[in-house]
Amino acid sequence: MSERVVMVTGASGNLGSAVVDVLMDSSAGIVRVVHDDVGETFEPAADGKAAVFTLGGIDTSDPQACALVVEKVLERFGRIDGLVNTVGGFGMAPVGLNDVAMWDRFMSMNAKTAYCISAAALKPMQDAGYGRIVNIAAAPGIKAGAQQAAYAASKAAVLRLTEALAAENRKHGISANCVLPGTIDTPQNRKAMPDSDRDGWVTPEAIAEVIAFLMSPEGGVVTGGAIPATGKAA
C-alpha cells in the first residue's frame, strides 16, 4: 500500500483518528476530512509516514462539498485508492410524530454522508480500476431493538448502500464493505456508561486494524460484506 492514498471522513473522531494513525505507515497519503472548520493544511511525508492533507469545514451530506473534496484530493495527489467513512451518530427514541426530526437527522448523518462521499470518489477509482470503500454500520441495521427505529434504519441504509456499491463496482476492481463495531471504548462511552462492564468493549485501534486490512490490496477478496468487530473472543 506504499503508494496508496486513502481518504478518511470524520477523521477527528475517535475511530477516524485511529484509522488515520493505523494507515500512516502503509500509505503515501492520508486525506483527513473533518466537519470542524480547521481550514486546509498539508503535512509532507516524513520519517516513513504518509503525507497528510486535512480538509476542514466539510459537510459530507452535501454532494457539492463532496465533489469539491475529491477535486482537491486529485489536485494534490492525483489519485484516490481508498475511502473510509466514519461520520455518524447514535441516539434512541420511541417511534412517534415528535421524533421525525431524529429520523431525518440520522438518515442524513449516517446514510446520506456515506452515499454522497462514496458517489464522489467512485469516478477516479473506476478510472484507475482499483478502489477500497469501507463504511461503518451497526448491528441494529440488521435487527433493530426498542427505541432504535431512526438509528437502525439509517444503518440498514448504509448496509444496503454498501452491498449495491460492491455489486456495481466489482468489475472495476473496487471493493465495498461495512464494519459493524460493538460498543467502542471511548471517553464519551465511558462517561455515558460508567457502570458498564467494559471487558467486551472494542477499542478504536482494533477496529482500525480490521479496516486497514479491508483497505489493502489483499482485502479486495472481501466485498459486499458486513463484518462484525464486536470485541475480543474470550
Annotation marks residue 115 as catalytic: no
- Of the residues 53, 130, 151, 201, which is catalytic? 151
Residue from 23, 36, 155 nearest 81 by CA: 23
Task: Give the separation between CA 83 and CA 131, rounded to whole angstroms.
Answer: 8
Residue from 69, 76, 91 nearest 9 by CA: 69
Task: Give the separation between CA 61 and CA 120, rounded to whole angstroms.
Answer: 11
Say if residues 113 and 61 touch (Cβ distance below 8 Å): yes
User: What is the β-pairing status of strands 5-9 and 29-33?
Assistant: parallel
Q: Is the dihedral of CA 153, 159, 163, 164 positive or negative?
A: positive
User: Catalytic positions, please?
Assistant: 151
